[in-house]
Amino acid sequence: MSANPGAAAPLYLGLDLGSLSCDAVLVDDAGRVAASAVVPTGARHAAAMERARCEALGAAGVGPEAIAATVSTGYGRERVEGRTAAVTEITCHARGIAALLPGTDVLVDIGGQDSKAMRLGPGGRVVEFAMNDKCAAGTGRFLDAMARAMEVRVEDLGALDATATGGLTLSSMCTVFAESEVVSLIADGADVHEIVRGLHRAVAARTVALVRRVAPGEDLAALRVAMSGGVARNAGVVRALAEALGHADASAVSVPPAPDTVGALGAALIARDRCRRSP
C-alpha cells in the first residue's frame, strides 16, 4: 500500500478485480496517485473490492465522500456497485502504462488467468491486441501451480532463476502436463534453478507469440516493450522475455514500480477524464 499525504479532493477511484487480487488506486485532479491498495480476491469478490477501496481511502486519509467517480475494470468489473462506468482491462492497462511509461510501443500484461499483448499508438491508444484467455498456461496461476509442485514460494521464482544456465526446456505448457513434468524432473534429480529457468523461458516464448500477433513483420528488438500485471514482479520472467525479444539485458523490457496496479491506475485516470468531460 502507498500514500501521498499531500493529495487533495476530489479523488477518482479505479478498481481492478482480477482472479488473484483486487487492486484500488486513487488519483487526484492532476492525475497524481493519492493512494493504492492490493488485496487477495479470494472467494468473496464483494468483500475484496470493499476492502481494497477502504484501504486506499484509509491510506489517503479521506472518507468515501472524497470519491468523485469510480471506474471498474478486470473480469469482475460489472460486479462493482455504484460505479460510474465499467471499462475493459485492455483499455485501462493501456491508459495506465501511457501515464507511467510514455512512448511504450507494446504492453505485455500477464495476470492471474490470462495474458495479453497490446500494440499501442500515440497517447496509449490501443491499435491491436491479442490475448490468451482459454488456457492458464503462462499466467500467474500457471506459475503458482509450478511453484507448489517444486515446493517453493512463487515470490522466490525470480531469484531461483538468476543462477541457472538455461539449458533445460519443458515440453508442455499445459498446467496439468507441465506440473507432471516438473514432478518427474525433480524425481530425476534435475536442479530446481534450471527447472525454474525452463518455466520462465516457456512463458516468454508463449508471450512473444502474442507480441508477434500484434506487431506482425516488425523488428521486435526495436520495439519499446513494457510489462504490467503481477507476473511482471518476477524478474526471471522479465529476463526471459527480454532474451526472447532479442535483448541481452533485461532492462530492455520496462516494468513500472507497481506493475500490478497499472490497470487500476488507468481506470482511475479514465474516471478523472470522464468527470472533466461532464457538463
Do 182 and 195 touch, CB atoms closer than 8 A?
A: yes
80 lies in the same domain as 121:
no
Q: The whole model's pTM is what? A: 0.89
The answer to whether residues 173 and 138 touch, using CB atoms and an 8 Å cutoff, is: yes
Number of domains in the chain: 2
In a domain, 98, yes or no: no
Same domain? For 118 and 49 the reply is no
Residue 151's SS3 state is coil
- Helix axis angle for 175-187 and 192-214, nearest 10°, is 150
* pLDDT surpasses 50 at 1: no
- pLDDT tens digits, residue range 180-206? 889 999 999 999 999 999 999 989 999
Residue 279 has pLDDT above 60, yes or no: no
- Rounded-to-5 percentages of helix, strand, coil across the chain: 45, 20, 35
Residues 238 and 114 in one domain: yes
Report if residue 126 sits inside a domain.
yes
The number of residues making up the chain comes to: 279
If DSSP codes are grouped into helix, strand and coil, which group holds residue 190?
Answer: coil
Average pLDDT of span 19-34: 93
Count CA atoms within 13 Å of residue 44 on its CB side: 5
Q: Are residues 202 and 250 located together in one domain of the fold?
A: yes
What is the Cα–Cα distance from 83 to 78, expressed in whole angstroms? Answer: 9
Side-chain half-sphere exposure of 113, counting CA atoms within 13 A: 12
Report the candidate in 160, 142, 163 with the shortest Cα–Cα distance to residue 152.
160
pLDDT band at 86; cut points 50, 70, 90: very high
pLDDT at residue 28, rounded to an integer:
96
Q: Is residue 83 part of a domain?
A: yes
**Per-residue confidence (pLDDT) for residue 134, from 0 to 100:** 62
Is residue 28 one of the residues assigned to a domain? yes
Asked if residue 239 and residue 125 are part of one domain, the reply reads yes
Residue at 245 is within a domain: yes
171: DSSP letter? S
pLDDT tens readout for residues 246-271 = 998 889 999 999 999 999 999 999 99
In this structure, are 181 and 246 located in the same domain? yes
Q: Are residues 226 and 150 in the same domain?
A: yes
270 plus 188 within the same structural domain = no
Q: Are residues 127 and 169 in the same domain?
A: yes
- Would you place residue 14 in the very low, low, confident or very high pLDDT band (cuts 50, 70, 90)? very high
Domain that holds residue 58: 2-93+261-277
User: Does one domain contain both 119 and 234?
Assistant: yes
Name residues whose C-beta falls within 8 Å of residue 200's C-beta, 6 or more positions apart in sequence: 157, 161, 234, 236, 237, 239, 240
Report yes or no on 27 lying in a domain. Answer: yes
Residue 64 lies in a domain: yes
Query: Residue 217 domain-assigned?
Result: yes
CATH number for the domain harbouring residue 32: 3.30.420.40
CA distances from 180 to 173, 202, 204 (A): 11, 15, 20
**H and E: helices and strands count for the chain:** 8, 11
Contact in structure between 145 and 156 (CB atoms under 8 Å): no
pLDDT tens, position by position, 240-251: 999 999 998 889
pLDDT of residue 7: 45
Q: Cα-flanking dihedrals φ and ψ of residue 154, to 5°?
A: -60, -30
Are residues 82 and 126 both part of a single domain? Answer: no
- The reply to whether 86 and 168 lie within a common domain is no
Q: What is the pLDDT of residues 119-175, one digit of tens each?
A: 999 988 999 999 986 666 778 888 998 999 999 999 999 999 998 987 788 877 777
